[in-house]
Amino acid sequence: MTDQMRRIALARRPEGQPVPDDFLLERGPVPEPAAGEVLVQVTHHSLDPYMRGRMDDAGSYAASLSIGETMIAQGVGVVLASRAEGFAEGDSVTGMTGWASHAVLRGGELRKLDSRVPATTALGVLGMPGFTAWQALREYGRPKAGETLVIAAATGPVGAMVGQLAKAQGLRTVAIAGGDEKCKLALDKFGFDAAIDHRAHGDAASLRKALAEVCPDGVDIYWENVGGKVLEAVMPLMNIGGRVPVCGTIAWYGGGASDKLPQVWRSILTKRLSVNGFIIFDHWDAFPDFLDEMTPKVAGGEIAYLEDITDGLDKGPETFIAMLKGGNTGKTIIKV
Amino acid sequence: MTDQMRRIALARRPEGQPVPDDFLLERGPVPEPAAGEVLVQVTHHSLDPYMRGRMDDAGSYAASLSIGETMIAQGVGVVLASRAEGFAEGDSVTGMTGWASHAVLRGGELRKLDSRVPATTALGVLGMPGFTAWQALREYGRPKAGETLVIAAATGPVGAMVGQLAKAQGLRTVAIAGGDEKCKLALDKFGFDAAIDHRAHGDAASLRKALAEVCPDGVDIYWENVGGKVLEAVMPLMNIGGRVPVCGTIAWYGGGASDKLPQVWRSILTKRLSVNGFIIFDHWDAFPDFLDEMTPKVAGGEIAYLEDITDGLDKGPETFIAMLKGGNTGKTIIKV
């Protein structure tokens, strides 16, 4: 084990949008696994919007990262050495490795990968984003055939799965995405019924008008993963009894303002909306059910997915920064 | 039937807080009941904050009042003439009479009153406000012993009932009310564990500090009936998995602003809050269960209540305006 371990740490807390100097590439000896632990060589790790939230010192939000701590991420890789029951050298595994070339994790923190599907699917369509979509849609979206669902970041790994699951259940699915290319992808690859380019609409009123045209029966489920202009545009279109799973507010992660709280709160009241915050880490109990149901569908091509893989651990910060600005297409992955 | 009927109509839509000229006292002949209908002489009618919302032309919110329409209200009274099965002259009844001396309603729109309790209780503790408290607390509040509940307008008819029901289920109950007198009432008459005078706190930060002191374990249920400064103060104190039944936003009925949407939305996400809009008119199916459970408790004095009765139909507008500003103490009722 003469290789050096490389990892990306949080250098300081970002002000607004993160910049490269908020991150630091650290080198050190490859750690040794203790009893019950496994050393993993990480081949790929995930980049997800939720990581931006963890970079803030958000008071009671216990999961904030400390300065100097390795950036959080799920990774996939190969076991180099195992002192945990059930794992052997060469096994393909996944766990919360962080942005790092190597990770030592307890056996209970790792899962062996299913050989029917590529390892990287464990980071996206069959990982946290896919599971988020599957679980929050059934628990908080409560879709019914004939209803209309609107989702932003629709070609991202959560959005693409939500759209395909809702479509399969007989809903009208409306994508919001940034640019022509992503709108085309939403329609052609992920089967959305309509797609709106939010870049073509400078304010919430203009976006709302465009949405109203493609949602003639109003909106029953607004899947919240962005906040900002999209939220302001959609709320007045909600139907009575509508549901709003809140899975992210990426538009506001770097700050940003909205004076629409009274209007949003009034919509919640008068439309009797059900708005539920959702963090997938609370729901791991249901993960085996998700894998059982969705792995064959992904293996069989029933569920489409798209990966956006960048080569090089050191490219993590710039790739993450670009992703937060919408520069990715599909599930963002770093090849270590 | 030579008496004249008097009624208060919506003269025009208020801009911000209603003023007397937004209302008009109209006189006309007493209406005759048709087949299936009942003529009621109204003895008392209710004044409730939700009526302010109905005065606006709120687009898709179907229940808005039209200009010239009688102001909406539940009333109690005595049957003068009946052409509906099951009702006879002299019966004590309640129904949506409006702000009026007389009302003609279909038999199915009326309910005979329980003689074990005073008629006016049908407008408050055993009417819409009490039922709102009972139903939304169990459906959306989901109280558990040992938790903490915060409610504003705590000496109002909804707040007083919510506080007593939650206390009986083993919760710590914290009242927010306007002025020393109401705080004392919250503690002494309605059994709250703590009471905070919001008038002593000019901004949300100061109110939050006072709340944090009396909520050492955070807040599990925030019963939303005001919005505004109180909402901004409470949200950062919410515990993970907290519930926010949204039953009213009176602080914003006359306009008002808040730039805290990003922060509130982030609290919903990170605390995994369940925020549910609630309008009692959707829930009448459960009303008989409510009456069965609560009528004996009110008759037996187990549940305390307070009525604030003003004499004179023509006093409705000024009493309503004062109530919206917090000038009432207890359930606001007009004696016709």
Residue B331 Cα, gap to closest chain A Cα (Å): 22
Q: In three state form, how does the secondary structure of chain B look? A: CCCEEEEEEECCCCCCCCCHHHEEEEEEECCCCCCCEEEEEEEEEECCCHHHHHCCCCCCCCCCCCCCCECCCCEEEEEEEECCCCCCCCCEEEECCCCECEEEEEHHHCEECCCCCCHHHHHCCCCHHHHHHHHHHHHHHCCCCCCEEEEECCCCHHHHHHHHHHHHCCCEEEEEECCHHHHHHHHHCCCCCEEEEHHHCCCHHHHHHHHHHHCCCCEEEEEECCCHHHHHHHHHHEEEEEEEEECCCHHHCCCCCECEHHHHHHHHHHCCCEEEECCHHHHHHHHHHHHHHHHHHHHCCCCCCCEEEEECHHHHHHHHHHHHCCCCCCEEEEEC
Contact B203, B230 (CB under 8 A): no
> Distance from B128 to chain A by nearest Cα, in Å?
16
Of B58, B252, B272, the CB nearest to A277: B272
Give B179's pLDDT tier (boundaries 50, 70, 90). very high
> Which whole number is the average pLDDT over A202-218?
96
CB of B249 within 8 Å of any CB in chain A?
yes
The residue among A286, A336, A302 whose CA lies nearest residue A120 is A336
Interface membership of B264 toward A (CB under 8 Å) = yes
What is the per-residue pLDDT across B210-254, written as a single tens digit (0 to 9) for each? 999 999 999 999 999 888 899 999 999 999 999 999 998 877 766
Reduce the DSSP state of residue A161 to 3 states and report it.
helix
Q: Residue B258's pLDDT band (boundaries 50, 70, 90)? A: confident
pLDDT tens digits, A111-140: 999 999 999 999 999 999 999 999 999 999
Chain A positions touching B223 (Cβ under 8 A) are: none
Tell me which chain B residues have a C-beta less than 8 angstroms from the C-beta of A216: none
Tell me what pLDDT residue A58 has. 67
Dump pLDDT digits (tens) for B146-163.
999 999 999 999 999 999
On the question of pLDDT at B113 being above 90, the answer is yes
**How far is residue B79's CA from residue B87's CA, in Å, rounded to a whole number?**
8
Contacts of B247 in chain A (CB under 8 A): 269
CB contact under 8 A, A269 and B282: no
How does residue A60 score in pLDDT terms, banded at 50, 70 and 90? very low
- pLDDT number for residue B259: 83
**Do A212 and B228 touch, CB atoms closer than 8 A?**
no
Domains of chain A: 4-124+305-335 (3.90.180.10), 128-280 (3.40.50.720)
Task: Report pTM.
Answer: 0.86
Chain A: give the shortest CA distance to residue B281, in Å: 11
Substitution target in A225, A240, A266 with the highest count of B β-carbons within 10 Å is A266
What's residue B59's pLDDT? 57
Whole-number percent of chain A with pLDDT over 70: 97
**Rounded mean pLDDT, A47-69:** 81
Q: Tell me what the pLDDT averaged over chain B comes to.
A: 93
Q: What is the ipTM of this complex?
A: 0.84
Mean pLDDT for B12-34 is: 94
Judged against a pLDDT cut of 70, whether residue A15 lies above it is answered with yes
Q: What is the pLDDT of residues A230-257, one digit of tens each?
A: 999 999 999 999 999 999 887 776 667 7
pLDDT-derived band at B3, boundaries 50, 70, 90: low
Q: How far apart are CA A63 and CA A52, in angstroms?
A: 12
The pLDDT of residue B2 is above 70: no
Q: What percent of chain B has pLDDT over 70?
A: 97
Taking the CA of residue A246 and the nearest CA in chain B, the distance in Å comes to 6
Confidence of residue A72 (pLDDT cuts 50, 70, 90): very high
pLDDT band at A59 (very low <50, low <70, confident <90, very high): low
The pLDDT of B185-191, averaged and rounded, is 97
- Using a CB–CB cutoff of 8 Å, tell me whether A313 touches chain B: no
Which one of A59, A236, A268 has the shortest CB-CB distance to B275?
A: A268
B265 → closest Cβ in A227, A236, A274: A227
- Three-class SS state of A140: helix
Question: For residue A203, what are its two tokens?
Answer: 């304010």
Block residue for tokens 């700050």: A255
Count how many pairs of residues, chain A against chain B, have C-beta atoms within 8 Å: 111
CA separation, residue B115 to residues B77, B120, B161, B164, B242 (Å) = 13, 11, 21, 24, 40
Q: Which pLDDT tens digit goes with each residue over A91-114?
A: 999 999 999 999 999 999 999 999
Tell whether B276 is within 8 A of chain A (Cβ). Answer: yes
Q: What is the mean pLDDT of residues A282-287?
A: 93
